[in-house]
Amino acid sequence: MISAINIFLSHPKDSVRESIKDLYGTDEVLEIPRISPDRDRDLRLLYQQQLRKSAKFVRYFEMGDRKDRIIYCLFFASNHHLGYLKMKEAFWKVDKRAGFCFSDATNPDRLILFEKGDISSLISDISKKFCRKRVFVREIREYTEKETIFLERHMKEVLKQLENQRLIDVENLKADGEKRRRGTFPSDAIVSFNSDVIDCQS
């Protein structure tokens, strides 16, 4: 409940401020009112940073109502890849009829609304990550699942678009020697990112 924490962060009682410090596990949180131009943002980022000291996978989501007002932030932290993946799948299935919407806020510069499913940011991320590289599809899938809010199905759509635009070359033969069918991206297919047409800095 970021708004409540923000309100009580400057409370005159030491005991109230201490409880917030205990929640965060660091006295850095008490410095935020003094140094931060955006307290809500920095409160979220610090909590995320603290969770990453113990958990391999950390993401947080903003939950909003019909009027796009932030109700609260939900943090997910786990050391289990499957649990992390199932959490992301659940958020992509959010039911708008309930009157709520979720957005991934882990990267404050790139807010992604689940119901829209815009993959343009994933196209950019994958292109930069693997620019000038020759990799297996499974490496791209692992990156997508671990480092972004997107799922394997989104990755396949990205690769399909990049192949159609001739921004990547997908080898005809998979690692096992069998022929790969165009438009499909099995784990052992090999992808080369065309450095001549992909801007690695974009």
Report d(CA 157, CA 193) in Å as an integer.
16
Confidence of residue 198 (pLDDT cuts 50, 70, 90): low
According to the 3-state scheme, what is the secondary structure of 53-103?
Answer: CCCCEEEEEEEECCCCCEEEEEEEEECCHHHHHHHHHHHHCCCHHHCCEEE
Residue 128 has pLDDT above 80, yes or no: yes
Of the ranges 18-27, 57-66, 70-79, 109-118, which one carries the lowest mean pLDDT score?
A: 109-118
What is the pLDDT averaged over residues 19-31? 94
> For all residues of the chain together, what is the average pLDDT?
86
Supply the pLDDT for residue 174.
87
pTM: predicted TM-score of the whole model, two decimal places? 0.77
What is the pLDDT averaged over residues 123-141? 93
Residue found under tokens 């806020």: 105
Q: Count Cβ atoms within 10 A of the Cβ of residue 63 and give its class: 0-12 exposed, 13-18 middle, 19 or more buried.
A: middle
Supply the pLDDT for residue 193.
92
Confidence of residue 13 (pLDDT cuts 50, 70, 90): very high
Confidence of residue 50 (pLDDT cuts 50, 70, 90): very high
Supply the pLDDT for residue 27.
92
